[in-house]
Amino acid sequence: MSAMLQDKVVVVSGVGPGLGRSIALQAARAGADLVLAARTEARLDEVAAEVKDLGARVLTVGTDINIDESARNLLDATLAEYGRVDALVNNAFAIPPLGDLVTVDFDKVRAGFETNVLGALRLTRLFAAALTETGGAVVMINSSVLRHSSQPYGSYKMAKSSLLALAQCLATELGPQGVRVNSVAPGYIWADTLKGYFAHLGKKRGVGAQTIYDETAANMDLRRLPEPDAIADAVVFMASDLSRAITGHCLDVNCGEFHH
């Protein structure tokens, strides 16, 4: 991976201690210069320090993707620092309300759509001209919730299904300008949040977290759960020239939990 993104500028939204961090670090290891965006600037500083330790250049920009002026500032700061953009990774995410659709709070559903769908559209529209100049790529971070309709994930699936439709339509719109738009859909992500949740479930049942892990992994073809770096590697691939003939595609990264 050491040269997959060599001399490319990659913008990542929604950077925090989880998947956003892994995307940033794997992109840096692949040779990219980074722009990290999130509302919580302290988290940006932590990840930026790790990126610098890998020898990559990095710019942090406090950003609320739901505000036009803030989102535009991200673009302006990126171009002022680097003069170009090669890839935009729309990783910012807000958890939609979990519950039955017949009783869900509409305002909370709208709030989820604002970040998960319209925020991604806002950034992509702003960065489209710069990406056209470099023949760049957009990567949407989706979810394997696309592949099932289990309760209580109805609002979550609605938002992520809309994000997939957005990516596909943008692929058609921006393709003639040489810009590719793809999606990466993780399943379970074996990181701190999930580890804590499995420990909680295990405690309720009087078993260890490993038991919960093994039961969950039994539904995966590979009998294990994806770790953040594995998902980030798929993002790096979609942002790189190795995927130069791929657009409008959704790449599932779930260790074989679902086939698509």
Domain identity same for 102 and 127: yes
pLDDT tens, residue order, the chain (260 aa): 668 999 999 999 999 889 999 999 999 999 999 999 999 888 899 999 999 999 999 999 999 999 999 999 999 999 999 999 999 999 999 888 899 999 999 999 999 999 999 999 999 999 999 999 999 999 999 999 999 999 999 999 999 999 999 999 999 999 999 999 999 999 999 999 899 999 999 999 999 999 999 999 999 999 999 999 999 999 999 999 999 999 999 999 999 999 98
- Tens-digit pLDDT profile for residues 83-97: 999 999 999 998 888
**CA angle (85, 243, 71) in 5-degree steps:** 30
179 and 56 together in one domain: yes
Let me know whether 26 and 135 are in one domain: yes
In a domain, 91, yes or no: yes
pTM of the model: 0.95
Structure tokens that stand for 231 in this block? 């998902």
- Report if residue 116 sits inside a domain: yes
- For residues 244 and 198, state if they share a domain: no
Whether 245 and 140 share a structural domain: yes
Verify that 169 and 50 share a domain, yes or no. Answer: yes
Q: Which residues form the domain of 213?
A: 190-225
142 shares its domain with 201: no
Q: How much is the pLDDT for 41? A: 87
**pLDDT score recorded for residue 1:** 60
Please give the angle made by the CA atoms of 215, 221 and 223, to the nearest 5 degrees.
Answer: 40
**CATH code of the domain in which 155 resides:** 3.40.50.720
Residue labelled with tokens 């809309």: 162
| Omega within 30 of 0 (cis) for the link into 152 | yes
* Position 259 in a domain: no
Same domain, 140 and 208: no
Q: Compute the C-alpha angle 252/253/259, nearest 5°.
A: 50
Report pLDDT for 133. Answer: 98
CA distance 13 to 19: 11
**212 and 171 belong to one structural domain:** no
- Whole-angstrom Cα Rg for the chain: 18
Q: Is 3 among the domain residues?
A: no
pLDDT for position 260: 87
Encoded tokens for 227: 């770790």
On whether both 103 and 208 belong to a single domain, the answer is no
The total domain count for the chain is 2
Q: What is the pLDDT of residue 96?
A: 87
Classify residue 180: in a domain, yes or no: yes
pLDDT of residue 2: 67
Query: 258 in a domain, yes or no?
Result: no
Judge whether 31 lies within some domain. Answer: yes
Q: Report, as residue numbers or ranges, the catalytic residues.
A: 156
